[in-house]
Amino acid sequence: MPLFGTDGVRGLANDVLTADLALSLAQATAVVLGQGRSAEARRAAGRRATAVIGRDPRVSGEFLSAAVAAGLASSGIDVYDAGVIPTPGLAFLVADRDADFGVMVSASHNPAPDNGIKIFARGGVKLPDIVEQRIERYLDAPKLQPTGAEVGRIRRFADAEDRYVVHLLQSLPHRLDGLHVVLDCAHGAAAGVSPETFRDAGARVTVIGADPDGMNINDGVGSTHLEELSATVVRVGADVGIAHDGDADRCLAVDAQGRVVDGDQIMAILAASMQERGALRDNTLVATVMSNLGLHVAMRERGITVKQTAVGDRYVLEAMNEGGYSLGGEQSGHVIMSDFGTTGDGLLTGLHLMSEMARTGKTLAELAEIMTVYPQVLINVRDVDRERVSDGGVQEAVREVEAELGTTGRVLLRASGTEPLVRVMVEAADEASAQRYAEQLADIVRERLAL
């Protein structure tokens, strides 16, 4: 089974993801990413290859990041340890320091017992599959073993957070003066840096989920648990609520009435704003096949093309890089603004969303009216043969439902990449129709693809 998943290496800390694995993975990464032309040029100038490492505040990140640092330094890599910092902050710092690569220790929105290792190439970009496969092959190969003065040094990256904050503030088209925001930091990597940044941008800030103790990350707070954020926004009379996940690469929002504004709605708002300001390259937004039909309708009305990709922010990034597009993302709140970052950035997204509120003088509820969210029903049909999702009878049933929905709905069938299940998603103009068609297709999938 491949070591790397859709977003790095992830698993139960000290079980699947051990200190030994973290050290070996760092040593293999040093071989693959620390030996390129940039590293050779550094050595010719009397400098070693460099890497930036960071982590979220879950307790296992302490020993895992220490193992990563040890593996890199023992391979002759100079390490700049940024400590607790959001994943997009780490990606930015890799580029800002002109480092050869970076390593982030985080399991994102997963619970505290889990952890993960994400690797960023030069420039702060995620690795393509082929490079991850090379690193995996080098896990059991001979490692670099310099001695004496050739081993790497480990230094504290003292101004890492300050550099990231300055970068975020410089990206803003409009300050946030006069706006009151509730920030939910998920007891994660944003707990220190997000409140400071939004205050520096001019906002009045109320904070929840900003007391990480190593074990409470994502526990009842953050972008996967919006109930407390919604209640707090209403209780304190704030204009908006912004929720991050554990490593702060996501942003979801709630309006002044506590209603959720998801990633699709945020992208629609930002796309329209960027189009108006001439910043939406090729009038194109990149989104996954799971984005709501309402997003497509809203963008079509404004002459904006929506380019679709497979599910996963890495596929959104690939399409953005290939086409040179400036905005893309997922319904889950991974929003990528390529003019300012190489990965989803929850702080950047929240800042720019509020900047549009300040620029237009509109409430978030008014801005969110740009798109109508179509009811979306998702049914996971378990214990079926996912390899036969293209079965003729199943596909005929899909075509029949699509014909009945016409332009008022959409059907999507996806085989799970890891489990014996097929996901049936139906969008329709009303909840009852979406539920009825989804159940109808789920029954056919269950019958036709039974194991």
φ, ψ (nearest 5 deg) of residue 321: -65, -40
Q: How much is the pLDDT for 43?
A: 66
Q: What is the pLDDT along the chain (451 residues), one digit of tens a residue?
A: 689 887 899 999 999 999 999 999 999 999 999 876 666 666 666 788 999 999 999 999 999 999 999 999 999 999 999 999 999 999 999 999 999 999 999 999 999 999 999 999 999 999 988 999 999 999 989 889 999 999 999 999 999 999 999 999 999 999 999 999 999 999 999 999 999 999 999 999 999 999 999 999 999 999 999 999 999 999 999 999 999 999 999 999 999 999 999 999 999 999 999 999 999 999 999 999 989 999 999 999 999 999 999 888 889 999 999 999 999 999 999 999 999 999 999 999 999 999 999 999 999 999 999 999 999 999 999 999 988 988 999 999 999 999 999 988 999 998 887 678 899 999 998 999 999 999 999 999 999 999 8
Last residue of a domain, one of 142, 158, 174: 158
Same domain, 80 and 13: yes
Q: Active-site residue among 60, 108, 223, 433?
A: 108
In a domain, 3, yes or no: no
Domain membership of residue 104 as a residue range: 9-158
In order, the DSSP letters of 236-253 are HT-SEEEE--TTS---EE
Is 108 annotated in the active site? yes
Q: How many domains does the chain have?
A: 3
Based on its alpha-carbon atoms, the radius of gyration of the chain, rounded to whole angstroms, reads: 23
Same domain, 25 and 62: yes
Same domain, 39 and 55: yes
340 in Cβ contact with 171 (< 8 Å): yes
Same domain, 168 and 296: yes
φ, ψ (nearest 5 deg) of residue 355: -60, -35
In a domain, 4, yes or no: no
Same domain, 191 and 307: yes
Q: Which residues are annotated as a binding site for Mg(2+)?
A: 108, 245, 247, 249
Q: Which residues are annotated as a binding site?
A: 108, 245, 247, 249
Q: How much is the pLDDT for 313?
A: 85
18 in Cβ contact with 116 (< 8 Å): no
Length reported for the chain: 451
Same domain, 423 and 437: yes
**239 CB contacts (<8 Å, ≥6 apart)?**
179, 180, 181, 256, 357, 363, 364
Smallest CA-to-CA distance from 87 within 173, 1, 158, 186 is with 186
Q: How much is the pLDDT for 334?
A: 95
